[in-house]
Amino acid sequence: MSSDLSLPSLLNEVRLEAPPLSRHLLAAIQSELDAGVKHFPLLEGWRRMRARFAIDFVDALLPLLQAAELGEDPLQRRAGSMDSLSLVDERQALQDVAIAHVIQTAEDRSGPELHQLSNFFAALRGTARARKNENPVRAALFAQALLVALSSVELDPQQRYELMRVAATPLAQGLHRIYSALCAKLRAADVSQMVSSHAARAQDYDIAQRMAQGRRNTEPATLDGLARRVQEHNSRAPRHSPGGLSAPLFKADQSPDMLSRLYEQILADTRLLAPLKALLARLQVAVVRLARHDHSLLHKQDHPTWALLNRVAAHGMAFERADDEQLQAFLRMMTAEIQVLIDAPLPTAAQFEQVLDRVENHLSSEAQERSKRNAIALASLEREQMRTQWQQLLGEQIKAQVADAALGPKLRDFVHSSWVEVIVQAMVLHGPTSAQAMAQIEWVDHLLESLQEPADEASRERLRRSLPELIQTLRAGCDRIALSADKRERVLHELMLQHGRLLRGLPALLTPVDAPASAIAKTEPSPEELLERLLNERESQLPEHWAHTKVDRGQLPTVPMQLFDQIDHDASTAAVANWMARQRVGCWYHLFIQSEWMTAQIAWISDKDQFYLFIGQDAEQRHTLTRGAVERLLANGLITALDDDNLVQHAVDTLMQDLQPGA
C-alpha cells in the first residue's frame, strides 16, 4: 500500500481542505439567507457571528480530526457518573435533530464514498468489519464543528436549528468534493481488494434508513391477508407441472405448511445473531405442536406466541456480539423457559402468555438493577417535578414569615426569591425533609433573630459570634444556585450595615429621625434608578429561571413539534401519546443522541412519565431524557423501539412479497 494512504496523510488532506470548506460555507449561508424572506429572523444572529464563522469552524474541526488520528473518540460522548446523569431536555433534543439532519444530508449526497472510506479505515485499523461511527472523517465530525461555529453568540435554540438546516446542503456539497478526492486516491493506489475484504456485513443495516422506511404510510400485511394470498396463489398454480416448478407454494388448506414457511422466514432474518436463531429454532417445536389444535395461531397477529417471539427477538437484536455476557444470561434464562413449553403435554396459548409475562418481569427487573447505581440522582430527578410547586408554597410562607421583619430592600428581595431557590434546590437534591433542606429553612429564623436589637452587651456579643456562620451559610447557598457575585455582594453589604448598626446599639434599619434628609425625600426611585432596577431584575431572573426551574420546560422558546409525521394535529397528538404509553422498562431502542446513534435500554421511568433513563450496551452510557425530548426525537425519526421492528411482521411482509403476482 502506498505511504500516501496512511491515516495521518489522509487526515492531513482533510485538514488542508478545512479552510476552503469553511469559506464555502460562509458564502453559501450568506447567499441563502439573503435569498429568502423566510430567513429574515436569522439575519441578526448571523450578522453577529459571521465575521468569525470561518475561523470558528476550522478551530472546532481540527481538534476532532486530531482526536480521530490518535484513536480517541472525537465526539466524546458525555456519560453519567455515579451520582449524576446526562440530562437531555427539549433544547438538547432540538440540537440533536439539527445535527442528525446535517449528517443525513451529507450521507445522502456521499453514501458510496463514505461506505468506501469506512471500509478502508477499518482495513487500516485491522478490524474485521467497518462501522460507520468509527470513520475518522465521517459527517458527524463536520456537523459538530458546524454547531460549535454557530454557537459563538447566544441564539434562540430554534434559530440555531434553522441555521443548521440552512448550512446542511452547502456542507454536504463541500464534503462530497472532499470525499470524492479521497476515494480517487484509493482508486489510484489500487486498494480495492483490501477495501472489499472489510465491507460491512449485510445485517449491519443503516438504522436511519430503516426508520425512514418504517415511517412510510403503508398498511402492514396481516396473517389473515397472508392466508388469503396463499389461497389465491394456489388457485392460480397448476396442479401438475413438469418438475413441480409451478406447484403451489403451500399445500391447500394445510396450515402446517404455511407455519413452516413463516417460521423459515423468521429464522432467515439477517438481524438475528446465531445463538438467538438457535433459541428460536428450539421454540419452533412447541409452536408447531400448539398450531395443531389452536387454529387462531395463524389468524391472530396479537397471539401470545407471536408476542413472545417478537419480545425475545427485540431484546436479542439489541446486542452486537454473540458472546455478550448479558445476552448469554438472557439465552440461558430463555432456554429453561422454552423447555417448559416443549415438555408440556399439550402447549396452550395461556402457557405462552405466562412465559411472556415471566420474560417481561425478568427484563424489567434486570433493567431496574442497571439503574440502581444512579438511585440518588434518579430520586432527585423524580423530585425535580415538584420544584415549581415547592417554590410557590415556600415563597408564600417566607413572605408571611418576614413581612414585619427589619429587612432592607435588597435583603428582603433576596429572601423572597433567591433564598427560596436555595431551599428548594436542597429539597430537590436531598429530599423535602432532609437535614440539608431543614438547615436552609432554619437559616431564615437565624437571620431574623440576628436582626433583633440586642437587649444588653452579652446579647451583642452573642450576635457578634454568630455572624461568621450566618454569612458562611448565606455564601454557600448562593454558590448552590450560582448567584452572581455582584448580586450577593449587594445583599451582604446591606446586611453588614444593618448588623453594624445593631452592634453599635442602633436599630437595624434607618428611622426617619436619624436618616439623612436626602434619604427621606427620596421615597420614590428616580427614572434612572427604576431603569437600573429593571435591568438588574432581568439579568438575575432569566438565567436562574432556566437553570433551576422544572427541567421538562413546556415553555422553551422552540417551535411546536412536528408531531409524528402526520398532517392532522389531533391525530398526530394521539399517535405520539399512544407510542409513549406503550414504552416500558426493559425495552431496547435505537436513538440519536449527542451526535451519534446508540442502542440503549430504558432502565427507569419516573412516576409521572416525565423522565426516562436510557442505558446503552456500554453501561457507562447513561442518559436521562425528558418526555418532551423523547417526543421531539420521535417526531423527527430519531428514536425507535426495537419492539416496533416486529420480527413476525417482517416475515409476513416478506412472504407476501414472494406471493405477489409475477413474483
Q: Taking 90 as the threshold, does the pLDDT of residue 522 lie above it?
A: no
What pLDDT does 205 receive?
38
Q: Taking 50 as the threshold, does the pLDDT of residue 656 lie above it?
A: yes
Other Cβ atoms less than 10 A from the Cβ of 89: the count is: 19
Mean pLDDT value of segment 34-47: 88
What pLDDT does 562 receive?
42
Mean pLDDT value of segment 259-268: 89
Rounded Cα distance between 110 and 631, Å, is 30
The answer to whether residues 502 and 454 touch, using CB atoms and an 8 Å cutoff, is yes
What pLDDT does 370 receive?
82
C-alpha cell at 183: 476515494
> pLDDT of 305-325, one tens digit each?
999 999 999 999 888 889 999
Q: Taking 90 as the threshold, does the pLDDT of residue 554 lie above it?
A: no
Q: Cα dihedral sign for 61, 62, 63, 68?
A: positive
Please tell me the least confidently modeled range out of 160-164, 171-175, 540-544, 640-644. Answer: 540-544
**Neighbouring-strand partners of residue 317:** none
Q: Taking 50 as the threshold, does the pLDDT of residue 563 lie above it?
A: no
What pLDDT does 552 receive?
35
From the list 247, 252, 345, the residue with the least C-alpha distance to 292 is 345
The answer to whether residues 626 and 554 touch, using CB atoms and an 8 Å cutoff, is no
As a whole-number percent, the residues of the chain with pLDDT over 70 amount to 78
Please tell me the least confidently modeled range out of 258-262, 441-445, 619-623, 656-660. Answer: 656-660
**Residue ranges per domain, the chain?**
3-81+91-200, 223-373+650-658, 387-548, 563-644
Q: Which long-range contacts (CB under 8 A, 24 or more apart) does 66-75 make?
A: 68/11, 68/136, 68/137, 68/141, 69/7, 69/8, 69/11, 69/136, 74/136, 74/141, 74/144, 75/140, 75/141, 75/144, 75/594, 75/595, 75/596
Rounded Cα distance between 134 and 547, Å, is 35
Mean pLDDT value of segment 584-592: 91
Instruction: Classify domain 563-644 by CATH number.
Output: 2.30.30.140
Residue owning grid cell 479552510: 19
Strand residues in 75-116 grouped as ranges (E): 86-88
Q: Taking 90 as the threshold, does the pLDDT of residue 662 lie above it?
A: no
Rounded Cα distance between 457 and 455, Å, is 7
Please tell me the least confidently modeled range out of 44-48, 289-293, 490-494, 531-535. Answer: 531-535
Write out the H or E segment, with its range, that includes residue 214: helix 207-214
pLDDT band with cut points at 50, 70 and 90 for residue 189: confident
pLDDT band with cut points at 50, 70 and 90 for residue 25: very high
Buried b (16+ CB within 10 A) or exposed e, 272-309: bbebbbebbeebbebbebbbeebeebbebbebbbbbbb
State the amino acid at position 277 in one-letter form: K
Mean pLDDT value of segment 546-563: 33
Rounded Cα distance between 497 and 635, Å, is 57
pLDDT band with cut points at 50, 70 and 90 for residue 521: very low
What pLDDT does 653 receive?
83
> pLDDT of 326-354, one tens digit each?
899 999 999 999 999 999 999 999 999 99
From the list 142, 145, 148, 149, the residue with the least C-alpha distance to 172 is 142
* Length of the chain (residues): 663
CA 529 to chain centre: 45
The DSSP code sequence of 37-68 is GGGGGGHHHHHHHHHHHHHHHHHHHHHHHHHH
What pLDDT does 203 receive?
37
> pLDDT of 395-437, one tens digit each?
999 999 999 888 989 999 999 999 999 999 999 888 888 999 9
Whether the model clears a pTM of 0.85, i.e. scores above it, the answer is no
Alpha helices in 237-348 (DSSP H): 255-267, 274-291, 304-316, 325-343
> pLDDT of 366-377, one tens digit each?
888 888 777 777
State the amino acid at position 285 in one-letter form: V
What pLDDT does 233 receive?
65
Backbone angles phi, psi at 384, to 5 degrees: -55, -30
Backbone angles phi, psi at 605, to 5 degrees: -130, 130
C-alpha cell at 560: 411546536
Write down the mean pLDDT value for the chain: 80
Mean pLDDT value of segment 373-388: 78
C-alpha cell at 529: 434608578
Mean pLDDT value of segment 46-58: 95
Mean pLDDT value of segment 575-597: 88
Three-point CA angle 484, 490, 494, nearest 5°? 150
What pLDDT does 228 receive?
74
Q: Taking 90 as the threshold, does the pLDDT of residue 106 lie above it?
A: yes
Backbone angles phi, psi at 601, to 5 degrees: -115, 140
Q: Taking 50 as the threshold, does the pLDDT of residue 461 lie above it?
A: yes
The answer to whether residues 112 and 180 touch, using CB atoms and an 8 Å cutoff, is no
